Amino acid sequence: MTEPIISIAMTSPPFLPFTRPSIDEPTITEVAQVLRSGWLTGGPKVLEFEAALSRYCQGRTVRTFNSGSAALTIALRLAGIGPDDEVLTSPLTWVATPNVVLEVGARPVFVDVDPVSRNIDLSAVEANIGPRTRALLPVDLAGLPVNRELLYAIASKHRLRVIEDAAQSLGAQWHGQPIGASGDFVAFSFHANKNITTGEGGALVIPDDIDSALCERMRLQGVFRNQNGDMDVDIRGTKSNLTDIAAAIGIGQLKRLSELTHRRRELARYYFECIRQDMGLDLPAADFVQSNWHMFQVLLPIGTDRRAFIEAMKTEGIGVGVHYPAAHLFTLYRTLGYAPGDFPVAEDIGRRTVTLPLFAAMSHADVQRVCIALEKTLLNAGC
């Protein structure tokens, strides 16, 4: 009688996405309590979250929204930006950044990016300021802060408002001070792929010369309520308030911001140790103090088939993102007169960039796994 053949199933390691939120059990329990309370929309948890954000921003006024895009839109409206105005911004960003400028009737004026920081090239900003320029809208790409001293020196010289698109940089700092603790308008995002999340959501740090009550009215249909119960609407508002469910998540997440940021910096540093120089990749700026390492982005070697690369990495069980194509090349912005070749640095980065996995729950072994897959994939002639 022959021995039976025993089949042993070989299991592959789980798929590693490029990002994943880290939500702890106390936060999940708090959300359940909100659901049981019956008060689900803007209420006590929103007030608690805004107070916690204000403390983080060293006492500045903070109001929350249902998205970072809403926060940027309201910031532009509070700054008085509207039709016939121009706002200078980066083409290397999520398309929401220029879209909100169009939303208020203004025109986004793109300025190419610095090849090292990949943020807006501040040395080229002044040449693009014209008689209709009303504001600067810089983006902290991947969590690396724009140079705040130079940014505000330019704004002050030309009497421009600044709306900081800090959607990716909560937890980052500039010269030891948290992003959001100083400056003009500062907009954060709490989208699911951000360093801390509320599922969907955003926040706006409001400068002292702006009425926070006006901001509150703009986010809720422009409604003004008198003490006697009467209401009036004298401005056009939106429906962009945050829910208490989302705020409960945010409260728990904000408590862990320092921990999560520290872990991301550790993992980013380990990427630099593991990625071999002969792979031909252009690495991001190695800033382990000011950046919050929202994303770890590398530029593929010139001529690499990015689509084939992404598919090959997926076959290896590694998720890869693309953040971001140069926004001025989208059809919408070509209709405004932008064309290929206008911003060559942003276009080159946009063509070659890929976002590798980076989130707080990753291990050093995960980083090693990504780098092994990188080396294998880049050796593939099809890429």
- Tell me the catalytic residues: 194
136 SS3 class: strand
DSSP state letter for 69 = H
- As a whole number of angstroms, the distance between CA 79 and CA 208 comes to 12
- As a whole number of angstroms, the distance between CA 320 and CA 358 comes to 10
- Residues present in the chain in total: 383
Q: Cα-Cα-Cα-Cα dihedral of 287, 288, 289, 290, to 10°?
A: 50
Neighbouring-strand partners of residue 162 = 136
What one-letter code names the amino acid at 226?
N
Kindly list the distances between the CA atom of residue 264 and the CA atoms of 169, 219, 250, 346, 360, in Å, as whole numbers in the listed order: 12, 33, 19, 25, 6
Sequence-separated (6 or more) residues with CB below 8 Å from residue 332: none
